[in-house]
Structure 1
Amino acid sequence: MAQQKTLGDLAGTRKELLHARHLPGEFYTSPEIYAREIEQIFMRDWICVGRVEQYPDPGDYRAMRIADEPVLVCRDQAGTLRALANVCQHRGVEVVQGVGNANEFSCPYHAWVYGLDGGLVGAPYSREVADFDFEACSLPRIQLDTWAGYIFINFDSDAESLTDYLAADQVQEVAAFLHADETRIADEYVFELDCNWKFVPENLMDIYHVGVIHSGTFGKGFAVEKFPFHLTKYGYHSEYESLTMAPDGAWLFGKPMPWLERKSKSFAFTVFVRPSFNMFARPDMLQPWFCHPLGPDKTRVTVLTQYPDEWFEQPAFEQKNQVVKDFIRLVASEDKEMMHSLQNGVGSRNFTPGPTMGLEKAIHHLLNAYLDRMFGEDI
């Protein structure tokens, strides 16, 4: 009954932008809606989990949880990147934790041993078991593919290819000029927020708040009124004007990346990849944000800073990079407080969804694409 009431409140969100309203608060607090999101979105979509250069050598691995599912990403002895369910096929314990390098993975509970390809290679006392089948006890494989150096996984073995998935929003076409595959990570900033995962991509495409919350950082050079929204099937992209991602718009590296040499110092670009990947570019760097839900009101956020190889060879590179690291953490801190407040506010009995503004065009589009995915276009 409660869900029927919530669905009945969506007529306002479904209206045209300047007549519409934001989502009801239940969409950010309800365990039932969250569970549906996991099944309808995160178990079907391609999810960004990092970069290829984070796994340079055979045996390199990272364990993580994506939408409540334990996942292990590693590079095997043949050099192939793999995504595996990080769930021992004996009792379900997570086989490995954290980040590292290993020749094999040993479950900490009963010492079942798995190869880098997920195959079971050892299980104490398994000879005592009738018809013990090592092959049937391999760690389940999860689809993995890459685009522009980013690693994506998909829990659905029947999902469309990553190529087709991205093409639905022309991502490869509109972002090709960024040459993300010719950059590498200089900083990885990971933090958790006490808010629903949807607030992260919504906030990152919320042009309305930039001149308010970020007025002391990059917002003071942000041409809000000139921001062009290019909507696609599920997302959007935009080339716009902004300060660099350094204090007072500093030109730390002295020039743009080679493939952006014709862009001005005020160049900025963004593209959204559903469900939760926001790419940002400046002339001298890339800074993608992506998030993973940890619960109805808990989210893990990752922000990468990427440069071309030649930046790493510049004099005083570490000092310059530290300036950028400090600045992105300052910018994120400006948003953190607001997103925590958003989560508290939408759970209040006094919250009524407000109108969507013209500068919230991308959010309005995102919300309606989300509702299509969750409940169909007729709701």
Structure 2
Amino acid sequence: MTLPILNLMPGDAPFRADPSDSYTLPARFYHDAEIWEHEKAAIFAQSWYYAGHVSQVAQSGEFLTVKIHEQNIFVARTRQGDLKAFYNVCPHRGHELVSGTGRKNVITCPYHAWAFDFDGTLKSARNTETVKGFDRSQFSLKEVRVEVFCGLVLVNLDPNATPFAEQMGDLEKEIRAYVPSVDDLQFAQRDTYEVEANWKVLIDNFLECYHCAPAHKDFVDLVDMNSYRTITCGLYSSQCAGKPRTTNARAYKFEAGDVDFGYAGWFVWPNFTIWAYPGEANLSVLQMNPTAPEKCVEFQDWFVKDGKVTDQLRDAINYQIEVLQPEDIGLCESVQKGLKSSGYNQGRFVVDAGKTELSEHAVHHFQHLVAQALGAKLDPEEV
């Protein structure tokens, strides 16, 4: 059922399907607790969620964990070589089974030592031999959908979800065009950032480079902005620059790699982004994980050849950690404060027909996906 707060309210300007004729989502969508709760079921419980990299679960018994709001999930490699995902909870009394990443011979609950194989079956349960009618088959772990896409491990709480690759159209083709050796990449490191902003503020910020010239001096020194274009495609969008402006940029210095390009980035619904920087083969995922209506934890996972970070890639990673992320986090935290101001409710999208770096049509694309998922009616013609 649609919450009244999701619909057009007094003082709201229309949010329309045409970005050139639309105002932005009203500010309440970025801080209201009711909307935050509605997002959990309407968006995150029905979407593919980035969990990690296949290189982290390459061997039998290796596992990784991921949290989707209150739902804890773990992904593990079975003895037969399959990849499985389960709710990370013991069916005996509800204790969490594993944490972080690692490798085990068997999954043993720390509470009462019930033990499970990596296919989810209960292998042993102490002192249940005399329990009347006890049937081990009734206490297998509950499975979750899992898929691998260009090395990325994705899970979905919806058992009837359309396969990820099918949802994403040409995304794999685009990634492989920029990073042909994507299958040779392995997990290298995770960087974590705590941000005082709604997760959608962070996505909005990623989706436009209108702010790049005033806010990211080193980035525009690295990338040829004249070739920077943003294209929206169903449940994802791309931002790519055809060439670097220089290989001797203030951001970092590099030698041209297998494919000579300036920058490639993709937004993937609902909350993660994929990056490829020029130079040696690399890929990274920056995921915006909401923890409260106005708080978010960002994970950036880096994937490089053989999992070994070279000096050149270290320079690129350090630029991200020390310069670009602090710049973006500062912008987003300031926006979050402004969204609570009595002097603001909505803005307008700045768009152009050329889909240049100055156009915000991809921000509208994302906000439209949010409105659709929540069942929001913000256009007077829909109310």
Deviation at 1:282?
2.7
- SS, match of residue 173 in structure 1: helix
Structure-2 change in CA distance of 1:354 and 1:80 (3 Å): same
**In structure 2, what is the equivalent of residue 55 of structure 1?**
57
Structure-2 change in CA distance of 1:160 and 1:333 (3 Å): same
TM-score (norm 2): 0.86
- Is the 2:13–2:346 contact (alpha carbons within 8 Å) kept by the matching residues of 1? no
Matches within 5 A, 1:146-295: 146-167=148-169, 170-177=170-177, 178-179=179-180, 180-215=182-217, 217-224=218-225, 226-240=227-241, 241-242=243-244, 248-252=250-254, 254-257=255-258, 260=259, 263-264=260-261, 267-284=262-279, 285-295=282-292
Check if 1:324 corresponds to 2:326. no
Structure 1 distance, partners of 2:184, 2:22, is 41
Q: Any unmatched runs of 5+ in structure 1?
A: none
- Is the 1:187–1:304 contact (alpha carbons within 8 Å) kept by the matching residues of 2? yes
Structure 2 distance, partners of 1:19, 1:151, is 38
Structure 2 distance, partners of 1:249, 1:338, is 19
Residue identity opposite 1:131 in structure 2? G
**Deviation per CA, 1:97-143, whole angstroms, max 9, x where unpaired?**
22221111222222222222222222222234221121111111101
Structure-2 change in CA distance of 1:133 and 1:173 (3 Å): same
Structure 1 distance, partners of 2:229, 2:249, is 25
- Is the 1:211–1:220 contact (alpha carbons within 8 Å) kept by the matching residues of 2? no
**In structure 2, what is the equivalent of residue 373 of structure 1?**
373
Deviation at 1:296?
2.1
TM-score (norm 1): 0.86
Residue identity opposite 2:39 in structure 1? E
**In structure 2, what is the equivalent of residue 357 of structure 1?**
350
Structure showing the higher helix proportion among its residues: 1
Structure-2 change in CA distance of 1:347 and 1:122 (3 Å): farther
Deviation at 1:209?
1.4
Q: Any unmatched runs of 5+ in structure 2?
A: 352-358
Residue identity opposite 1:375 in structure 2? G
Aligned residues: 363
Deviation at 1:80?
1.7
- SS, match of residue 356 in structure 1: coil
- SS, match of residue 175 in structure 2: helix
Structure 2 distance, partners of 1:73, 1:289, is 19
Percent identity among equivalent residues?
24
- SS, match of residue 250 in structure 2: helix
Structure 2 distance, partners of 1:237, 1:192, is 25
Structure 1 distance, partners of 2:246, 2:109, is 46
Mean CA deviation greater in 136-145 or 73-82 = 73-82
Structure 1 distance, partners of 2:367, 2:284, is 24
